[in-house]
Structure 1
Amino acid sequence: MTIPPVPFTAEDATTALETAFPLLEISQVAEQESWRKEINRPLYHIHKWWATRLGSVFRAITLAALSPPGQGQWQDFYRQHNFTSKVVLDPFMGSGTTLGESLKLGAKAVGCDINPVSSFLVHQALTPVPEDELRTAFAALETEVAPQIRRYYQTRDPATGALIPIMYAFWVKVLDTPCGEEVPLFARYVFSQDAYPKKKPRAQIVCPSCWTVFEDRYDTAAATCAGCGHHFNPQQGPASGQTVTTRQGRSYKIKDLLPKAGPPRHRLYALMALRPSGEKIYLPARPEDRALYDEAAARLATEDLPLPTFAVRPGHNTDQARGYNYHAWRDFFNARQLLCLGLLLRAITRIEDRAVREQLLCLFSSTLEFNNLFCSFKGEGTGAVRHMFSNHILKPERTPLENSVWGTSRSSGTFTSLFESRLLRAKRYLAEPFELRLKNDHLGERAGSSKVIASAPIAPTLATSWDELAASSGSAALILNGNSASLPIPDKAVDAVITDPPYFDFVHYSELSDFFFAWLAPALKDTYPFFNREDSSADGEVQDKDPSIFAHHLGLVFAECRRVLKDEGVLAFSFHHSRPDGWAAIYRALSDAGLSVVAAHPVHAELRAASPKTAAKDPISLDAILVCRKQAAVHPKRYSAPTILAETDAYSRMLRAGGLSLSRSDEFVIAAAHALISAGAEDLPFVQMQNRLEELQVALGNNLAVDAVAAE
């Protein structure tokens, strides 16, 4: 189903993307994909990247951008295509979604990113390495280093006296008061419960008096410790918000109790272990367990390991961690984690075959996300480890979960589990890329879907220059690192530019990617020159809390895209923002670059249940796909607020009728995108455009769409 926009006269259109888009059908498939992106599009999830867009959406965008009007729509989505003469550019490459989808359609692809971690991970994603070679290297690591790691993740089964593997270790931050009291930062003493506690109410509780671990209901407000008989309310821990209350009733601000130097200390209080039968058991941390940890810490002091030495830069996304005295990236790990990760990394760097070595380095880096002191426990019945980037800031975890690095047969987020679930799955996707086709007309996690093969295997030549890419007679990709405001591409050489720009002000990628850079740079700086620097930031990054600075840097990249784009080509990108100044910044960047928005298509973009979304009061789940042409080639329509509000209402009704849930912020995304269509010819000042968008937002808030149509 499509709602054709009317941005300019029909004869001006050169691509299908300018005239129509199957936004409802694509949104339905996209929502299904978003439930398990790492399974449904594994190619883009071998390593963490932020705001990775949905592959089904970008397949549809690319297909329409490379097709003439009347083609490249829903009826062509599951067909195999071969755009061998076309070249697609993504100046903000990220995880490589545009490149992968372009290659699946038979086009050549160019991707550039200013961030070295992005350039490295996309190179690894698109490099086919035989599975048997990866398994051979993994087996060698399992023989060489896995026993050393497993040695430090074991405990004694109280029932048999035998040593059994630890899956997870539970820690809590501990602060000292001026009166000499030790206070653990528990918000509640229930530390493990099922993801669906009403169905499975049994939970694990730690006693605040003797630290015994025992079982009771997740919601009990009156418990008696099985070890010491202490009576307490498990729902009320000493930490609440930014304050902590001692057992003697004294209250303090947590920030006032933080140590003067270094992060807070931690106490190990419980373990989850795995019996040979497959049974998982909870145990209190005992002296033998703490002695084993101390043994790992002692060995760490004697080993020469490739550990991170970089400092944590001040920044929007790092200041909260720095406020807890996390000033170095190695502070994000305890001694046992540093030892075991260092042993593993050292063994990987000794692998002789470069392709295999770099694939496993990428996997190692991905493993870091689930093995640090900023991880937490999600509970039983789900993936147990909540990774450190579940928030868009580096938020110190008061009750961190220590994973077991190498892992067990039942682990998640370990080197072993990610080898199977991320790396090998991505390599198989290269050989057999698939699309999701819904089995039913309704949506939701259990709507049901099947896999459809609609592309040839992804096996590009990885070119090292534009000339090499252009000379290639088959599938080819050029992966660049640098500022996309200056690209090594000739004028008017690219058929389409398709991208997802960085966030305006919420997530500063390089501040977060430094976490990975600190481990990767020493191992890769001799092979990849872009790793030979102090951190992953670079001049010209398109991220700033000041909208005018953001617009300036983005405009420079858009201007360069205009230079390399053919006159008949389109630049299409996804964007959403809840505030008018973000949209005004996008408008200013396009206007400065000599580009006009000629069409806007709202599509499903993100899972509303994701952690940052659930925390938002009015979460956004839609992206606007903004389709742009060089200004001289289009005749924009006149701005009309009532018309925009009416269009917003029509789109909203259609999407809701198709099963999608929209918020008021989603409606603003639709309205703001359509406001940009008519503003292209006016060259409005930033403030005037912002005022116009604020008026639209107020009108939507007052639910004036229907009245506006009648008034016009």
Structure 2
Amino acid sequence: MKITKFRTGDRKTALECGFPVVEISQVAEQESWRKEINRPIYHIHKWWATRLGSVFRAITLGALSKPDVDVWSEFYKVQDFKGKVVLDPFMGSGTTLGEALKLGAKAVGSDINPISTFLVRQAFTHVSENKLREAFEKLENSVAVEIKRYYVTKDPETGHSIPVMYFFWATIVVTPDGEEVPLMSRYVFSQDAYPKKKPRAQIVCPACWSIFEGRYDSAEISCPHCEFIFNAQQGPASGQKVTDSFGREYKIKSLLPADGRPLKQRLYACLALKNDGKKVYLSVTDEDRQLFASASERLSREELPLPTSVVRPGHNTDQARGYNHTTWKSFFNDRQLLCLGLLLKEILLIEDFEVQEQILCLFSSTLEFNNLFCSFKGEGTGAVRHMFSNHILKPERTPLENSIWGTKKGSGTFSSLFESRLLRAKRYLDDPFEVLLTHDTDGNRTGSVKTTASLPIRPKRVDTWEELASVEKSALMVINGNSAKLPIPDSSVDAVVTDPPYFDFVHYSELSDFFFAWLSPALRERYEWLSRQDSSDPGEVQQKDPRAFGRQLSLVFTECTRVLKGDGVLAFSFHHSRPEGWAAIYEAITQAGLVVINAHAVHAELRGASPKSAAKDPISLDAILVCRKRDSLSADDQIAKKDVAFGIMSEAERLQSAGLKISLGDKFVIGAALVLIEKSKDRLSFDEIAKELHVMQENLRSGSPLIIGQIELAL
């Protein structure tokens, strides 16, 4: 999407001129399939809406390069932007920082959220693998023994104790007549990801609670243990209602415990690992239940570093609170609390703080896969569906209890994440790589390989601007605070590259409180930014109202304009399905004294990602909006009036011809970016720009001719 027509002398950076949209989108799509493997440094810990590293490498490369540089031809070359400084005021997981450092520049990252600050500090801290393995082995020889004894069962064939990978639970409601009803929509609790190819499934009997094997599509079936006949496809729970054995229907919320406790749960099955390495599903026994009871009893008498804070009301937390999950402690069962508490207590005894914080980051990352809001994906895929698969904290009706330390074949455990997340991220610091697509002699894509295009990431971490300026080579400054007030001098940053928050979808601090509740008690004495009540801040750019969001964002953009050099660009990625979201962005840009001079539509996220896959017109494109200071443009600088309708059509066709699927939502993203280019010099009101975007969106949806100004084109 190349829109601007500045004279060659007026263009200051390559990003203002053009962008290898197709090539970067193809690489980005490949990266998006396994982001945690292709860019492990940004997935050392959970963060939301993490952008693709390949896209931000290209953005940063273009923002630091001269106008005549071909970004794609330079993409896989080792760069050295010595002395250049890149700022990200919404650093999140640190994507911009990592890509800037890989290009040889200095990086400044700021975020108001303390969890972001913690994880970014850990991501860019170089610690030897030997030290980390030594700490891990000490934990394995001490507390792991205690934890693993609570995740065992007996092999019914040999009578020997074998490790349990997962325990299966069902949430229970009690009717006014005292009947206990499980909130199960069906009684098939495990099946393959491709059931038509592998129809074998696991079924639980609602009468005797024994489990047995059957087909995934079994309907009327007889339990081989008690001969009870039932429909395996019809459980008592449907939507927000549940039906008892007499056919009486109740609203689930009407059956919540009156004392404010969450609904109780029943343990009914486990997936264990036999001595020969084979997995086996087993019904739970009285001995299994007694093991859980012993964990509850021990928890009651142990002094452990457990969360004590409450879940505050919010857009992403109200559903959990509505089901009586009002404390973060209530997100875990007693066995999970005991074992996590024992593990954390032992981690805090590690004397080397640098190593300790790396292991704490691993511990915090483990929490995502070990709580009552996790569920079972099934066979043939990553088994644990983590708690943030929905962007709200949705209580799970059939929770999956993972083995916290883990087994050889488990996932989402402390031991598996040590290898797959922590060590992989540390190795990436030593050997950062890019994804390179491979093709046959006819130009057909054959796959991808990893290729080195950067020097090792070894920045000197500094705390002040003066220190950053004094470092000759690579340096990193991580700030926790409101980016509307940065400790940076005027006109000192070469480029601002960022990804602002969404205004109405994911409220990061509400979700990050889940991790804050565990980390804050452990580190509040060490770091002031972890000593507050929760991870929120009055200055965060995270408002439901688009106008309020625009105002808050404009404060940050205004500050970025202040610290940006006159010939620098501010570039950021954005997509939204609502015109009001774009109107808020427009206001933030214009109020900050910026002008949008170009935009590039690139692949941003895996289309099948949840909850994106549930959307009617899922958006997989980001618009990269390139801005300059209004007062840096000369009076002769003109933005060419290129019609929006034609721009949408031509850009969609270009991306589709490259093999990308473009939805109506994607076309709206392309069109909205074009409108912002056309109108950013005009300083329209919020209502004026929103109205224009609404008309464009409705015409896209209806297939009517698209009219922008005096231009009409059928799409």
TM-score, length of structure 2 as denominator length: 0.97
SS state at 1:439 partner? strand
Aligned-partner Cα distance in 2 for 1:255–1:639: 56
Contact 1:7 1:598 (C-alpha < 8 Å) held by counterparts: no
Aligned partner of 1:107 in structure 2 is: 105
Please report how far the alpha carbon of residue 680 of structure 1 lies from its aligned counterpart in structure 2 after TM superposition.
Answer: 1.4
Please report how far the alpha carbon of residue 504 of structure 1 lies from its aligned counterpart in structure 2 after TM superposition.
Answer: 1.3
- Is 2:227 aligned against 1:229? yes
Aligned-partner Cα distance in 1 for 2:66–2:598: 15
Please report how far the alpha carbon of residue 182 of structure 1 lies from its aligned counterpart in structure 2 after TM superposition.
Answer: 0.8
- Match for 2:651: what amino acid? Y
- Is 2:671 aligned against 1:671? yes
Please report how far the alpha carbon of residue 11 of structure 1 lies from its aligned counterpart in structure 2 after TM superposition.
Answer: 3.1
Contact 2:488 2:563 (C-alpha < 8 Å) held by counterparts: yes
2:95 alignment partner, one of 94, 97, 106: 97
- 1:627-668 alpha-carbon deviations (Å, 9 max, x no partner): 00001233453767xx11101111000000000011101000
Contact 1:7 1:678 (C-alpha < 8 Å) held by counterparts: no
Contact 1:504 1:550 (C-alpha < 8 Å) held by counterparts: yes
SS state at 1:336 partner? helix
Please report how far the alpha carbon of residue 710 of structure 1 lies from its aligned counterpart in structure 2 after TM superposition.
Answer: 6.0
Q: 1:577 to 1:451 in 2, by over 3 A?
A: same
- Match for 1:658: what amino acid? A
Aligned-partner Cα distance in 2 for 1:70–1:661: 31
- Match for 1:637: what amino acid? I
- Match for 1:696: what amino acid? M
Aligned partner of 2:181 in structure 1 is: 183
Aligned partner of 2:306 in structure 1 is: 307
Aligned-partner Cα distance in 2 for 1:372–1:273: 19
Aligned-partner Cα distance in 2 for 1:521–1:321: 21
Contact 2:308 2:328 (C-alpha < 8 Å) held by counterparts: yes
Q: 1:231 to 1:53 in 2, by over 3 A?
A: same
- Is 2:135 aligned against 1:137? yes
Aligned-partner Cα distance in 2 for 1:441–1:502: 40
Greater shift in the superposed pair: 516-525 or 698-707:
698-707
Please report how far the alpha carbon of residue 428 of structure 1 lies from its aligned counterpart in structure 2 after TM superposition.
Answer: 0.3
Aligned partner of 2:639 in structure 1 is: 637
Aligned-partner Cα distance in 2 for 1:259–1:659: 53
Q: 1:214 to 1:566 in 2, by over 3 A?
A: same
Aligned partner of 2:480 in structure 1 is: 481
Aligned-partner Cα distance in 2 for 1:271–1:518: 29
Contact 1:646 1:709 (C-alpha < 8 Å) held by counterparts: no
Q: 1:454 to 1:115 in 2, by over 3 A?
A: same
**Consecutive unaligned residues in structure 2, runs of 5 or more:** none
Contact 2:309 2:327 (C-alpha < 8 Å) held by counterparts: yes
Aligned-partner Cα distance in 1 for 2:94–2:660: 27
Aligned partner of 2:437 in structure 1 is: 438
- Is 2:2 aligned against 1:4? yes
Aligned partner of 2:375 in structure 1 is: 376
Greater shift in the superposed pair: 696-705 or 349-358:
696-705
Q: 1:308 to 1:636 in 2, by over 3 A?
A: farther
Contact 2:83 2:472 (C-alpha < 8 Å) held by counterparts: no
- Is 2:241 aligned against 1:247? no
- Match for 2:140: what amino acid? E
Aligned partner of 2:649 in structure 1 is: 649
Aligned-partner Cα distance in 2 for 1:483–1:214: 56
Please report how far the alpha carbon of residue 124 of structure 1 lies from its aligned counterpart in structure 2 after TM superposition.
Answer: 0.3
- 1:265-319 alpha-carbon deviations (Å, 9 max, x no partner): 0000100000111100001111100000000000000100000001000000000
- Match for 1:393: what amino acid? I
Contact 2:199 2:215 (C-alpha < 8 Å) held by counterparts: yes
Aligned partner of 2:422 in structure 1 is: 423
Please report how far the alpha carbon of residue 440 of structure 1 lies from its aligned counterpart in structure 2 after TM superposition.
Answer: 3.4
* Matches for 1:60-79 after TM superposition, within 5 Å: 60-79=58-77
Aligned-partner Cα distance in 1 for 2:585–2:440: 35
Please report how far the alpha carbon of residue 227 of structure 1 lies from its aligned counterpart in structure 2 after TM superposition.
Answer: 0.5
* Matches for 1:140-179 after TM superposition, within 5 Å: 140-179=138-177
- Match for 1:541: what amino acid? E
Aligned partner of 2:119 in structure 1 is: 121
Greater shift in the superposed pair: 416-425 or 220-229:
220-229
Aligned-partner Cα distance in 1 for 2:440–2:322: 49
Please report how far the alpha carbon of residue 704 of structure 1 lies from its aligned counterpart in structure 2 after TM superposition.
Answer: 4.7
* Matches for 1:191-270 after TM superposition, within 5 Å: 191-260=189-258, 261-270=260-269
Q: 1:711 to 1:220 in 2, by over 3 A?
A: closer
Aligned-partner Cα distance in 2 for 1:20–1:567: 20
Aligned-partner Cα distance in 2 for 1:687–1:28: 36
1:14 alignment partner, one of 12, 15, 20: 12
Please report how far the alpha carbon of residue 701 of structure 1 lies from its aligned counterpart in structure 2 after TM superposition.
Answer: 2.1
Aligned partner of 1:700 in structure 2 is: 700
Please report how far the alpha carbon of residue 180 of structure 1 lies from its aligned counterpart in structure 2 after TM superposition.
Answer: 1.4
Aligned partner of 1:399 in structure 2 is: 398
- 1:15-64 alpha-carbon deviations (Å, 9 max, x no partner): 00001000110000000000000000000001000000000000000000
Please report how far the alpha carbon of residue 397 of structure 1 lies from its aligned counterpart in structure 2 after TM superposition.
Answer: 0.4
- 1:601-650 alpha-carbon deviations (Å, 9 max, x no partner): 0000011111111111111100000000001233453767xx11101111
Q: 1:25 to 1:385 in 2, by over 3 A?
A: same
Please report how far the alpha carbon of residue 591 of structure 1 lies from its aligned counterpart in structure 2 after TM superposition.
Answer: 0.8
Contact 1:63 1:72 (C-alpha < 8 Å) held by counterparts: no
- 1:464-502 alpha-carbon deviations (Å, 9 max, x no partner): 111101100111000000000000000000000000001
Q: 1:602 to 1:711 in 2, by over 3 A?
A: closer
Aligned-partner Cα distance in 2 for 1:711–1:338: 60
Aligned-partner Cα distance in 1 for 2:21–2:566: 26
Identity of matched residues, %: 64
SS state at 2:601 partner? strand
Aligned partner of 1:283 in structure 2 is: 282
SS state at 2:310 partner? coil
Aligned-partner Cα distance in 2 for 1:230–1:636: 78
- Match for 1:81: what amino acid? Q
TM-score, length of structure 1 as denominator length: 0.97
- Match for 1:633: what amino acid? S
- Match for 2:450: what amino acid? K
